[in-house]
Amino acid sequence: MFRKLILTTVVLFCFSQTVFANFDFNSNCVQAYKCIIGLRLHEGRQLIDKEKAAHPQNSITVLLDNYYDFFTILTNENKADFDRLKNNKSGRIDRLNDEDQNSPYYNFCIAQVNLQWALLHSRFGEYTAAGFEINKAYRLLQNNSKKFPAFLPNNIPLGVVNVLLGSLPNGALKSVLGFLGIKGNTQAGVKMLEKLSVDLPKSGYAYHYDELIYYLTYIQTDVVNDPQAYAKMLHLVVSADSTSLLADYIVGYIALRTGHSSEAISWLQKRHQSSEYQPYPYIDYLIGVAKMNRDDNDANNYFNRFLQTNKGANFIKDAYLHLAWQCLLDGDMARYRGFVAFVKAKGNLYNDKDKQALDEANDMPPNVLLLRARLLCDGGFYSKALILFNGKTINDFTLERDKIEYYYRLGRIYDAMDNDVNALKYYQNTIGIGKTSTYHYAATSATKMGMIYEQHKDYAKAKGAYQMVFDFKNKQFKNSLEQKAKDGLNRIGAN
C-alpha cells in the first residue's frame, strides 16, 4: 500500500511538472522577453532558441516568437516582412490551443498573439482581420480576468483593448467591431493601466513594466490627450530598463508630441545605437521633425537619412512634405514643387500622417508665416511663434483658408501658454469664420474649447463646445475629431 502511494505521488508530481512546464516564464524566458522589449532582438532570438533546445515543451517560447515578429515589423514598417511573417500566426494559435487551459497564461498568450497581429493588421490597413482579432483577444482577456484576478499581466492587453474599443473614430475598424457587438471604455482602460503602473513593480511580474509604459504613455499622449502626459512619462520611465532602445524611443516620442522638441532631440540623439539593437529608422524621422520645429538648419539630414535607410511603408509622404516645407521656408519654390511631386508619387496611405501629407500636397502651398508659426508651436517655442504675429491682422492674409488658420494658430499658441482668455477668443473667431469650411480648424477649435471649459469645470459650456463639433462641414479629421468630442462628452457625463 505504501509503495503504491509513493508511486502515485511520483506520477502526480511528474504530471504536474509537465503541465506547468507548458507555460514556464522562467529566468531565461524573462531575459529573452526583456531583450525583445528593449529592441535587442538578435540577443532575444538567441535566448528563445536556447530555451526551445532546453525545454521544447515550454509554450512561452511561442509567445516570445510572436513578440519577436511584432517588434521586428513595428520597427521596420516593412510590408513584405508583414506579409511573410503574418503566416506564423495560425500555427502559434494551434500550438497554444493544445496547452494547459488551467494556466493563467493560456488565454493570455492566445489573446496577446491575436492583439499583436490586430495592431499590425490595422497598421497596414487590414481592418477586417484586425477587428476579428481584437474581438477574440477581448473575450479571452475578460474570461482570464474572471478566472485569475490576481494575474496582473492580463491587465496590460485588457486595458489597451478597452482604450482601443472606447476611442476608435468612425471608420472601417470601428464598423467591424460594432458588427461584432463589442464595446470598450476608454476611461476604464486608462485607469486600469495607470493602476497597474503602481502595482506591477511591486509584484512578481515587474518584468512586464516596460511593455506597460510603452502602451500607457502612448495612450496618455495620443489617445486621451492628457495635459500631464509629459510629466507622467518622465515619472514612469525612471523605473524603465536603462539599456532599452524602446525606452529611449518612448521618452523622445512623448517629448516631441507634447511640445518639448529640444528635449526630444537630446534624448533621441543619445539613444542606444550599437549593433546589439534593432535598426529603427523612424527615430531619424522624429529627430528631423523636432529639428524643423526648432528651426535647426540640419533637419533635412535626418529626413534624408530616414528615406535612405527606411524599408518600411509609412511616413514616407510626410518626410517628403517636410523637405518641401523647408524649401518653401527657404524661398525655393522650384525645389518645393519637386518635393511635393514626391509626396504625391511615393509612399503609402496606411496612416493619418501620410494621408494628411497628401491632402496638403494637393492644396495650395501653405502661407510661410503660418507654417513657421505652426512648426514653432508644435515644438514648444510659443513665445517665438507669437512674435511672428506682431503687427499682423487678418487682413494681411488673402486666402480664406489662411484667414481661418490665422485665428486658429493664435488660439493654439495662447492655449499652449495657458492664456485661456485669449485662447478662447481666437478659437471662437476661428469657428465664426470657419464653421462652413472643409478644413479642420473650426472643429478642432471647438474640441480645444471644450477641453478648456472642462478643466475649469464649466461643464455646461464644455458640453456646448463639444456638441458643436458635429455641426461642422469639415472633411479633415472628421472622424477623429468627432470621437474626441464624444470622449469629452462622456467624461463630463453629457453623452
CATH number at residue 410: 1.25.40.10
492 within domain boundaries? yes
360 within domain boundaries? no
Of 119, 120, 100, 128, the residue nearest 164 (C-alpha) = 119
pLDDT of amino acid 474: 82
- 146-222-150 Cα angle (round to 5): 20
Domain boundary among 251, 280, 309: 280
Q: Say whether both 289 and 406 belong to one domain.
A: no
What's the rounded Cα separation, in Å, for the pair 33 and 25?
Answer: 9
Q: What single-letter DSSP state applies at residue 222?
A: I
Structural domain count, the chain: 3
What's the rounded Cα separation, in Å, for the pair 317 and 385?
Answer: 26
Q: Say whether both 227 and 347 belong to one domain.
A: no
Q: Say whether both 251 and 320 belong to one domain.
A: no
Question: H/E/C letters for each residue in 130-145?
Answer: HHHHHHHHHHHHHHHH
Residue 231 to residues 18, 258, 328, Cα–Cα distance (Å): 46, 10, 35
Backbone region of residue 364 per phi and psi (left: phi > 0; alpha: psi in -120 to 50; beta: other values)? beta
Domain boundary among 352, 375, 404: 352
Query: Within 226-260, where are the H helices?
Result: 229-237, 245-257
Of 343, 295, 337, the residue nearest 319 (C-alpha) = 343
| Total residue count of the chain as it appears in this document | 495
271 in Cβ contact with 283 (< 8 Å): yes
- To the nearest 10°, the Cα dihedral for 170, 176, 182, 183? -10
122 within domain boundaries? yes
Q: Say whether both 381 and 402 belong to one domain.
A: yes
358 within domain boundaries? no
What's the rounded Cα separation, in Å, for the pair 186 and 489?
Answer: 12
What's the rounded Cα separation, in Å, for the pair 467 and 480?
Answer: 14
Determine the structural domain holding residue 322 and report its residue range.
Answer: 281-352
Of 108, 114, 74, 75, the residue nearest 92 (C-alpha) = 114
* CATH number of the domain enclosing 72: 1.25.40
What's the rounded Cα separation, in Å, for the pair 401 and 440?
Answer: 10
pLDDT of amino acid 169: 64
Q: What single-letter DSSP state applies at residue 314?
A: S
SS3 226: coil
Looking up cell 478648456 gives 452
Q: Say whether both 315 and 256 belong to one domain.
A: no
Q: Say whether both 312 and 200 belong to one domain.
A: no
H or E element at residue 208? none
359 within domain boundaries? no
- To the nearest 10°, the Cα dihedral for 263, 265, 267, 269? -160
What's the rounded Cα separation, in Å, for the pair 403 and 356?
Answer: 20
Residue 311 cell numbers, joined: 524599408
Q: Say whether both 341 and 431 belong to one domain.
A: no
48 in Cβ contact with 26 (< 8 Å): no
76 within domain boundaries? yes
Q: How far is CA 61 from the centre of its chain?
A: 26
Residue 393 to residues 322, 346, 371, 390, Cα–Cα distance (Å): 27, 38, 16, 9
Q: Say whether both 129 and 33 belong to one domain.
A: yes
Q: How many Cβ atoms from other residues are within 10 Å of residue 455's Cβ?
A: 12
Backbone region of residue 241 per phi and psi (left: phi > 0; alpha: psi in -120 to 50; beta: other values)? beta
323 within domain boundaries? yes
Cβ burial, residue 228 (10 Å; 0-12/13-18/19+): exposed
Of 237, 299, 296, 297, the residue nearest 267 (C-alpha) = 237
Q: Say whether both 342 and 250 belong to one domain.
A: no
Main-chain dihedrals φ then ψ at residue 483, nearest 5 degrees: -65, -40
Q: Say whether both 22 and 128 belong to one domain.
A: yes
Q: Say whether both 214 and 131 belong to one domain.
A: yes
What's the rounded Cα separation, in Å, for the pair 398 and 134?
Answer: 48
452 within domain boundaries? yes
Q: Which pTM value belongs to this model?
A: 0.92
Looking up cell 526583456 gives 34
Query: Within 388-468, where are the H helices?
Result: 400-416, 420-434, 441-455, 459-468
What's the rounded Cα separation, in Å, for the pair 327 and 299?
Answer: 12
Domain boundary among 293, 321, 352: 352
Per-residue pLDDT of the chain (495 residues; tens, 9 = 90+): 434 433 433 333 333 333 344 899 999 999 999 999 999 999 999 999 999 999 999 999 999 999 999 999 999 999 999 999 999 999 999 999 999 999 999 999 999 999 999 999 999 999 889 989 999 999 999 999 999 999 999 999 999 999 988 877 666 676 666 666 677 788 899 999 999 999 999 999 999 999 999 999 999 999 888 999 999 999 999 999 999 999 999 999 999 999 999 999 999 999 999 999 999 999 999 999 999 999 999 999 999 999 999 999 999 999 999 999 999 999 999 999 999 999 999 999 999 999 999 999 999 999 999 999 999 999 999 999 999 999 999 999 999 999 999 999 999 999 999 999 999 999 999 999 999 999 999 999 999 999 999 999 999 999 999 999 999 988 888 888 998 999 899 899 887
Q: Say whether both 408 and 274 belong to one domain.
A: no
Residue 119 to residues 130, 161, 214, 243, Cα–Cα distance (Å): 7, 10, 14, 25
Tell me the one-letter amino acid at 144.
N
